[in-house]
Structure 1
């Protein structure tokens, strides 16, 4: 399968030389932000790990800590995010979403709805290793009701493989009976089917559902559920249809309305830059008739903006 990320390895780079460039960029009076952002956006995540190791060997300091002391605000968060291995980045985001006052449900939904079962298992294991706590335990301690139940199902990461032709019709009928057809909603049916079937299978179920009900399943979820449960079910449906489409919509939402949701913008650009950002760009252009690049350019500024635009990897104008 062709590589769909925007950030690629730089095969001419040398971790020790890169570490020295970063050291010089932070040494003395003032910081050379341009040197930092240009270097880190033109190295793959695996190469950034080698640079971190080289920096520690040469200077006895952690590179992320050194950068934190020199940078600030959203630019700092973006640069430090690029230094984290992908699973560690997800784990830190989930931990921050749970601890402290209130819960950032948007982060829990986005990560657990969009990652593959293998990635979810790796996240659970890394979370346990980093915090000596169970991710499921922390989530159930922080969330409740049907929303909690859906997140727990997603954490089991046990979606069936492929398509089961024999259950497409019965799954669609069960969803129809659980929502549109009855007074009140049988939320458990939605949780069980949407949380346990493969994306390929669900797309077929959605087609069947449309024949039965006369409209898309998203419309039923909007009508039949509310709050965080509605958000997580919609995220799962959108990811089953198209993960890049889901992220294109999330990026648009992050840059719409009053002020920009920099946390979401940073998280998606960091976590998808070596996965499917080319596809997200294509979906964004298709959905909103404007390039992701030009939208980021108009909604952000400074070194933060420059870094995001380099991660974006080009303008689909």
Structure 2
């Protein structure tokens, strides 16, 4: 059937799709909880959603079933079918019929990944104060292709380049590093150069531990542009030279949001699912829930590495992500998030 997506159609439609390149940030391959739905029929799904939100009351169960089991690419087709059949934007009808965190999650699920990330970045830089941790999370965990698509989506939506927005909301070495990441110029080749690793490790050592003061530009250039496999080898060489882990040196030499950003890169290089599991743990622990972070990671990683994130969560925090979400959320919002998790591990 025409609506069962082949690889090329999926690549074309899945805006912001993961490239699954080992040398890129989104490197873990297809370890998501959502796959393409086998017996997919976009017109039938659009019709079912219309019935679920039409008239008095809403059939939340139908919405949750469809929107948490179809891939991003399939949901884009459902939205197109919905527009053709009913003359309305699906997201607008969902917004007018739902409310609260459940509304936000359902709308996020039908938004293309690049547009979703662009909106998250805009929200992080809106109003007084900047949510630096959101900027760091998104810009350190997306591939070059994703970053370029996010930049396009940002400009289309807000008529301002992402680089200009970052420049106006941040400063100093933190700004430089964010702009370098946002450019999407990280090496994504699979080759690892042992000579370069030794050379970069020496440069990092001389830029930090070996001198009075720190040459921040060297840290930015190497950590923001080298491939992840290359950086893994560089960090091993760094330990041989300095007798310290790179994290220890970064903490001793740098400070503030720039330090936070470089540590995030190191953690992603070593184990990105563990980095994102930690972000989820912080969003769920303590008084109140950080729903923005919870939604963002659950939605953006649902087709990439959410299974690996769940494994790291259980390993580090002694309970499953499923049970943590169940304990911290409620109602249809909870049901939808648990569906994204899949079965409790």
TM-score range, shorter chain: over 0.9
Matched, 1:78 2:95: no
Post-superposition CA distance 1:173-195 (Å, at most 9, x none): 22222222333322222111111
Give, in angstroms, the shift of residue 142 of structure 1.
1.2
Matched, 1:15 2:46: no
Partner of 1:40: 67
Partner of 2:219: 190
Separation in 2, partners of 1:169, 1:263: 40
Matched, 1:181 2:184: no
Separation in 2, partners of 1:188, 1:263: 32
Give, in angstroms, the shift of residue 24 of structure 1.
1.6
Question: Which moved further from structure 2: 122-131 or 147-156?
Answer: 122-131
TM-score by length of 2: 0.87
Matched, 1:223 2:252: yes
Q: Secondary structure at the match of 2:214?
A: coil
Partner of 1:111: 138
Separation in 2, partners of 1:210, 1:301: 46
Equivalent residue pairs, number: 316
Give, in angstroms, the shift of residue 84 of structure 1.
0.6
Question: Which moved further from structure 2: 283-292 or 198-207?
Answer: 283-292
Matched, 1:285 2:314: yes
Matched, 1:168 2:205: no
Separation in 1, partners of 2:183, 2:71: 30
Separation in 2, partners of 1:155, 1:8: 28
Partner of 2:303: 274
Matched, 1:101 2:141: no
Partner of 1:210: 239
Give, in angstroms, the shift of residue 224 of structure 1.
2.0
Post-superposition CA distance 1:157-210 (Å, at most 9, x none): 222333222121221122222222333322222111111111001101111122
Matched, 1:245 2:255: no
Partner of 2:6: none
Matched, 1:123 2:163: no
Matched, 1:62 2:89: yes
Partner of 1:150: 177
Question: Which moved further from structure 2: 183-192 or 202-211?
Answer: 183-192
Separation in 2, partners of 1:155, 1:102: 20
Partner of 2:329: 300
Question: Which moved further from structure 2: 97-106 or 149-158?
Answer: 97-106
Partner of 2:11: none
Partner of 2:16: none
Separation in 1, partners of 2:99, 2:212: 52
Task: List gaps (5 residues or longer) in structure 1.
Answer: none
Partner of 2:262: 233
Give, in angstroms, the shift of residue 265 of structure 1.
0.5
Separation in 2, partners of 1:214, 1:165: 19
Give, in angstroms, the shift of residue 145 of structure 1.
0.5
Considering fraction of residues, name the structure with more helix: 1
Separation in 2, partners of 1:223, 1:302: 45
Aligned counterpart in structure 2 of residue 27 of structure 1, from 54, 57, 63 = 54
Post-superposition CA distance 1:221-268 (Å, at most 9, x none): 222222211111111111111221211111112112322111101000
Post-superposition CA distance 1:39-92 (Å, at most 9, x none): 211111111111111211222111111111111111111110000111111111
Q: Secondary structure at the match of 1:242?
A: helix
Separation in 2, partners of 1:307, 1:49: 19
Separation in 1, partners of 2:280, 2:168: 29
Task: List gaps (5 residues or longer) in structure 2.
Answer: 1-19, 21-28
Separation in 1, partners of 2:286, 2:172: 30
Separation in 2, partners of 1:258, 1:230: 27
Q: Secondary structure at the match of 1:20?
A: helix
Give, in angstroms, the shift of residue 101 of structure 1.
2.6
Q: Secondary structure at the match of 1:136?
A: helix
